[in-house]
Amino acid sequence: MSRVMLACHQFFPRFYTGTEILTLEIAEELRRRGNDVAIITVEPILPGDSVPNEITIETMKYNEFPIYKLYIPNPHDQIERLVRESDDVKLQSSFRTILEEWKPDVVHSFHLMRLTASFAKIVKEMLIPFYITITDFWLLCPTYQLIRYDDTLCSGPSGNGCFACLSDAYSKGMPRVPIKFKLAKKLPWLATMVNKTAGECKSILTNRTVIHKKLFDLIDGVIWSNKFIQQIFHDNGMRNDNEFILPFPIPERAKGLIGLPLAKSEEVLKVAFIGTLRKSKGPQVLIEASKHFPANVKIELHIWGAAEKEEYYNELVELAANDNRIQFRGTFPQEKFPEVLEDIHVVVLPSLWYENTPLTALSAQAAKRILVVSDLGGLSSLVDNGVNGYTFKAGDSEELSSILVKIANNRELLNKLTENIQVPNQVEHYVDNLIDIWN
């Protein structure tokens, strides 16, 4: 029996999306095998929360797991905030206190945002084995998605490029954007030359990459979910001597999807988008695709998810234009996934960014629902094009439309694609591999 500490950037009960679900379910499987498990997180201060005057450690239980939650005052100084974003040395004494109390035999992180490189440094200073699973691009990109401020894809960090995106983020919501922010976005190299603060920001962002490269040298092992995300990090100089490809498991809470009866091959092809309603997730691409459906082809779109911004949700509703083939269905708890997919034939993930391996995709495959996905990142690695699903050029609503129409018009094709879907691994298999790696 071992004492294991899992680390995550945020956690239940207030945060419950993919990375948090993965962390919780691995904790549950480890406990089932007789291990003691605790979870550490540095949670964000949300609107309406009381802001602490100093770093605060809160201990609580969730599903009988000890949870250590750190809350930190928001730095008023923008430079200080930027410095601490990648390596918050002010948290080190708190980390040391928690680790001395819990005394883990191994620490495994699923996301270091807010924990920062300082957490890894203290773990290794205390001679505790430390491993990390890469779940997104935060170690490369402060916005974690590798999407530039103008919605184009980014291949990796640079001082000027990151400064332009940061300037855009700071200026969002301003009724009138100051000229210095406009200059920073369009000509970041000039802004960082003529403005002292801008120059400091660029220097910090450049050093951020250096800090994270050193982090890869420090830790005992890195786990990737697919070769694509591994290659992007390697291309940017972040690699470790002890690396493993370990595809994410289907969520334990979605186990009811395995063996779910196939949707009836009725006249209407039922298609679902499931995920956060955010532009980078691409729901607008699917809605736009519906405008290319021939009038005699019966296809329904079911849009599941909540919008981060009401303005964007309103844009989607306006784009749908009261088309009765498009239904906005809201959200659902993970346990209801079988009910959501019961009548669905196809799940479309039209992302415009390099998604890693979303749990929605794994859940759809567990239920043997056909995936139609953008040809980007980890998504495309899940699909053998034309064999168990389809890929299409990211953002190309016409190509997406033609794929859906082809499936709708050929139920024999639908059945063939469905038969070829392989059910992903389950959590117990994932934990088998984790334990082998730790040992």
Tokens of 342: 């019961």
C-alpha to C-alpha distance for 42 and 48, rounded to whole angstroms: 17
Residue 215 confidence (pLDDT): 98
H or E element, residue 183: helix 179-186
Q: What pLDDT digit, counting tens, does each position of 119-140 carry? A: 999 999 999 999 999 999 999 9
* pTM given for the model: 0.87
Residue 173 confidence (pLDDT): 65
Find where tokens 């690695």 sit. Answer: 381
Q: What pLDDT digit, counting tens, does each position of 310-334 carry? A: 999 999 999 999 999 999 999 998 7
Is 60 exceeded by the pLDDT of residue 347? yes
Side chain identity, residue 179 = I
Ramachandran angles phi, psi of 153, nearest 5°: -75, 145
* Most confident region among 35-39, 246-250, 376-380, 423-427 by mean pLDDT: 35-39
Residue 177 confidence (pLDDT): 56
Dihedral angle computed from the Cα positions of residues 166, 198, 115 and 145, in that order, rounded to the nearest 10 degrees:
20
Contacts of 75 (CB under 8 A, 6+ apart): 81, 84
Residue 178 confidence (pLDDT): 61
Residue 308 confidence (pLDDT): 83
pLDDT-derived band at 38 (thresholds 50, 70, 90) equals very high
Residue 335 confidence (pLDDT): 81
Point out the least confidently predicted range of 176-180, 305-309, 362-366: 176-180
Domain 3-133+219-249+429-438, what architecture?
A: 3-Layer(aba) Sandwich (3.40)
Residue 79 confidence (pLDDT): 86
Residue 306 confidence (pLDDT): 93
Overall average pLDDT of the 397-418 stretch: 96
Closest by CA to 241, choosing from 131, 94, 362, 98, is 131
Q: What pLDDT digit, counting tens, does each position of 186-245 carry? A: 777 777 777 777 888 889 999 999 999 999 999 999 999 999 999 999 999 999 999 999
Closest by CA to 226, choosing from 253, 244, 205, is 244
Overall average pLDDT of the 4-19 stretch: 93
Residue 185 confidence (pLDDT): 74
Alpha-carbon separation of residue 391 from 16, 170, 190, 363 (angstroms): 28, 35, 40, 18
For the chain, the structural domain boundaries read: 3-133+219-249+429-438, 252-419
Residue 251 confidence (pLDDT): 82
pLDDT-derived band at 112 (thresholds 50, 70, 90) equals very high
3-133+219-249+429-438 and 252-419 have identical folds: yes
CATH number of this structure's domain 252-419: 3.40.50.2000
Alpha-carbon separation of residue 16 from 9, 11, 25, 145 (angstroms): 11, 7, 12, 19
| Secondary-structure breakdown of the chain: helix, strand, coil percentages, each rounded to the nearest 5 | 45, 20, 40
